[in-house]
Amino acid sequence: MNYKDLGLSRAVIKKPFDWKGKKIFINEYLPIDAKYDIVMITLQKAFENGIYNPIKLDVFFHLNLVYMYTDIEFSAEDREDEFKLYDEMKSTGFMDEFLKHINPDEYKEMQEDIDNISELRFAYDTTAVSVLRSFIDDLPANAEAAAQIVENFDPDKYQAVVDFAKAANGGRDIK
């Protein structure tokens, strides 16, 4: 039997959610590529100074859920300050009400994926393999900088610096 003969297709089911007299439609199920995007964009935006900032994980995860699950259209201006946007949704009760209407299994699954990936990244980043990979990745940039130094090296200026240091050291050689 061919897969196509099974007649499988993803059902797109949107259920209405009322917010202060406005009808908002929420996807009952998101395809896996959309869930993957929510998880990976959340992790990308929350990574700073070598760690995942838990505040940013919360903000970006929940905003991405609203972006992907609802039919609300956000302008570039709306999304310009995502912390403000999150605060508005959270402080008015919108976020909590919205979360009551999405599939709890999908929510839990994505939250677990974020936790698992962040733990795996931390474990990987602390290994010798990671340190070596970082060194190898940075090597071309460091080699280019070294080449620029060699290319711009002026022996006359170097000798002038050595002579100045020797004079400042009371005429004694610099070691």
pLDDT digits (tens, 9 = 90+) for 22-44: 999 999 999 999 999 999 999 99
pLDDT band at 134 (very low <50, low <70, confident <90, very high): low
pLDDT digits (tens, 9 = 90+) for 51-79: 899 999 999 999 999 999 999 999 999 99
Which tokens is 15 given? 């259920």
Using an 8 Å Cβ cutoff, are 78 and 85 in contact?
yes
pLDDT digits (tens, 9 = 90+) for 3-22: 888 888 887 889 999 999 99
